[in-house]
Every structure is written in C-alpha cells, then in structure tokens.
Structure 1
C-alpha cells in the first residue's frame, strides 16, 4: 500500500484528527464528549494516517509511553491500516527512547495487540460501558527480529481498537481436526497436503522456515502436483530475499523450471513484517507456523473458513508485491 502515509500532526491544527475521533468514538462508540476530549491532547504526539491523501486514521502517544485514541474510519477497516498505524507509533516511541508502552484495549481487540507484542496486564474492566484490559509492551521481552517493543497504558480510557487481521491462531489441542507439528513431522504433514492438492498452493514467508520449505522432498511434492495438473498454480510470497533462501533446494528452482506455473515474489517493502509462515492448499488445506523460527505449529486438512480468511490477506499482499532483482537474476 504505497498510498498509505503516517505523519505527526499538531493538535491545534489537526481538524482531521478531531473529525475522525468524533465519528469513531462519539458517533459510533457513543462515548460522551466530555470524556473523549481531555487535557492530555495538548501535550500528546498525534498521528494521522492518510490513504491516497485522505485522512482515515488517528492515534496519540503520551510522553510516558501511553498509546491511545487509535481509530480507523469504518470504511477503511480490514485493510491492515490499524497495524500500519500502530507500528508507526511504536517506531516513533522507540526512536524517542521509550522501552515500555501501555494501552487500554477493548477485549475483542486483545489478539490484535498481542500480535504486535503486547501482553495483557490487568483483569477485564468497564470503561465507558465497554470491556477493556490494560496491555503492556516491553522492548526487553521482544525477540530481536520483532519491531521495537512497546509498553502502553492508554492515556484515554475510551480508545477504540480496530484489528485488521486475525492473528496467527494458537494451537488448540482439544480440536480433533488440528494436528500439532514440530520439526520432526512438519515435512510429512506438508507433503500430505501437497499430494492431496488439486490446483493451487499459496506459501507465505518460506524464508523464515527454510528448515521446512527448502527441502528436496517438498519440491518433489510440488513437481508431482504439476505432473498431475498442468494448470496448477503455485504462488510463493517472500518478505525478504535472503542468500540462504537462494541456495539449496529452493522453491526458486521450481519457478525457474516451471515459470508459468510457479511464481515467486517479494511483498511490498512498505508492508509490515510478520513472524509467521504458512501454506494454503486449494480451498481447505492449511499449515501455520505462528512463529516460524520456533519450528512448531499446526496443520488442518480441512479448514475452509481459515483458508478463506488467510487467502484474502495473502491475495492483498500478492497484488502489491514485486519481483525482487535477486529473484530475477536467479531465474535468468
């Protein structure tokens, strides 16, 4: 989404900030006006998210690391803009030397903030009649490849949170349709999915799980699919093109041999990085590694709803993706 920009805005001149908060908090959420507007707005750093030049989202950061008033206009939700806005605020906070961020999340949005590294640090409480929980982000507890760690307690009690994408599901071992996987059985389970594939394979961020995807047996399973169906389509979307991914039994070698059937692209550099890797087979097979480098996750042979949800996210990323120079060089 190259048409998306997040910028800081002066509160006194920020009419667009106030308009968005009026529409989201007061009109939509029914937050009383005397609670929405507070003295902390004068000292806060305010952020405005613009899409194609139009203001569609806002948030604020207090000097003590509290993030609040996160809002995206209704017609622009579900596009990843909330995450884009939060990551910009977090990056700004880290640049200012803040190592802990706090916020007050509506309970339905807790998973969204957990994906960004926040942890719940309170029981459920009511704020303006809406259930909330305090959450904290600490730079000291994040992995080195995550975004700057944030700890946040919402400066305003009526922040609305608009999760844009369902976070990677945590395995529920009571679910009989879910098969837990580790490094020991992941290859076997993925091959079973591929051998049952009829036409389409979508793979996201395999460079984060070379231990699984850069395996000769996986390439052979893809080759068997192509042999079964000369109209098969294999899409591989990378977040980064690493030297390790370019060597060994790589999916790029498959794309070189079958360029009309297997495509490898890199996601747009403006899109945020994710820690998970996944494979979606046809309309129902699903493999997820929530934190790919931990080498564990789950497989579902039949999960139409989950595949539909994640396929939509994949397709959005794919439509804005690029052919990286390193990929082009490899394919020539």
Structure 2
C-alpha cells in the first residue's frame, strides 16, 4: 500500500472527492437515495480521504459528537487495508481532540471489520436507508494519546 496517501480536512477541501466516492459506493452500488448520502453535518465534520495514484478511493467523516460515518471504499480498492487506514486516521483525530468514545452505525456486512478494530456492538439491529445496521462504539484511551502527543 505504498502508493496510498490519506488526507484529513474539511468538506470545503475534500468534499468533492468524498462525494464522488460516496456516490459510487452508496448510490450506484448499494442503491441508497442520493439525498441521503450527504447532509449539513458534512460542514462541521472532519473528513478523511484515501488516494491511490492521485484518485480518491475511500472516504469517511468524524462528527463533533464522536460519530464516524459515511465510510466508503471503492470496490476495486477493498481488501487491502484502505478502510483500516481511514478508520485509524479518524480515531487518531478523535483521540487528539480528547474524545472518550467514538461510535457508528455499521452495515451488517461491515460488523466483522469494526469488531477487528476494537468496536463493540451496542443494541439491536435496525434499518436505515433500507439497509440493516447496528450501533457500535469504541472507548478511546485519551490519556495515552495525550501522553504520546507530548513525546
């Protein structure tokens, strides 16, 4: 994965690339209605986009309340760890800003991925945008991240 770069920033800076990835994965592949793929929360979120050879191949966001969402990886970029890079970047950002926990709504098929990244299932499955999801959360070691930041 030496040709993968990950950038963090605002919707103004990364929104075009993030929206392109979301459109491909959520709208075209999963059949989710386009208006449900972006919302006003994008304006206050931290966005992370992964690039391969200069092209956006994955994206996700972190909201001020610790919610991770809209994680999407293009089909031809799956299975090589790009989703993990995106998730690690969002978790690191949450730790740096002092969040004690991050949480998300995982699609049923993605639950094993999040379990491998120390997330736990919270509650019962539910449907959102016609897709089965389950809430998951992960506690963060804020004190350790603060100590590491000073090193």
Matches within 5 A, 1:1-332: 1-13=1-13, 14-139=15-140
Q: CA deviation at 1:136?
A: 0.6
Task: Please give the alpha-carbon distance, in whole angstroms, between the structure 2 residues aligned to 1:54 and 1:130.
Answer: 28
RMSD: 1.5
Name 2:148's counterpart in structure 1: none
Q: CA deviation at 1:10?
A: 2.7
Aligned length: 142
Residues 188-245 of structure 1: CA distance to partner in whole angstroms, max 9, x if unpaired?
Answer: xxxxxxxxxxxxxxxxxxxxxxxxxxxxxxxxxxxxxxxxxxxxxxxxxxxxxxxxxx
Task: Please give the alpha-carbon distance, in whole angstroms, between the structure 2 residues aligned to 1:12 and 1:88.
Answer: 19
Task: Please give the alpha-carbon distance, in whole angstroms, between the structure 2 residues aligned to 1:10 and 1:97.
Answer: 19
Contact 2:26 2:32 in 1 (8 A): yes
**Structure ranking higher in strand proportion:** 2
The structure whose Rg is larger is: 1
Q: CA deviation at 1:3?
A: 1.7
Task: Please give the alpha-carbon distance, in whole angstroms, between the structure 2 residues aligned to 1:9 and 1:57.
Answer: 14
Task: Show structure 2 runs of 5+ residues with no match.
Answer: 146-151
Contact 2:19 2:38 in 1 (8 A): no
Residues 77-110 of structure 1: CA distance to partner in whole angstroms, max 9, x if unpaired?
Answer: 1111111111111111111111100000011211
Task: Please give the alpha-carbon distance, in whole angstroms, between the structure 2 residues aligned to 1:7 and 1:87.
Answer: 12
TM-score (norm 1): 0.41
Task: Show structure 1 runs of 5+ residues with no match.
Answer: 149-332
**Structure ranking higher in helix proportion:** 2
Q: CA deviation at 1:15?
A: 1.1
Task: Please give the alpha-carbon distance, in whole angstroms, between the structure 2 residues aligned to 1:18 and 1:113.
Answer: 23
Task: Please give the alpha-carbon distance, in whole angstroms, between the structure 1 residues aligned to 2:122 and 2:59.
Answer: 24
TM-score (norm 2): 0.88
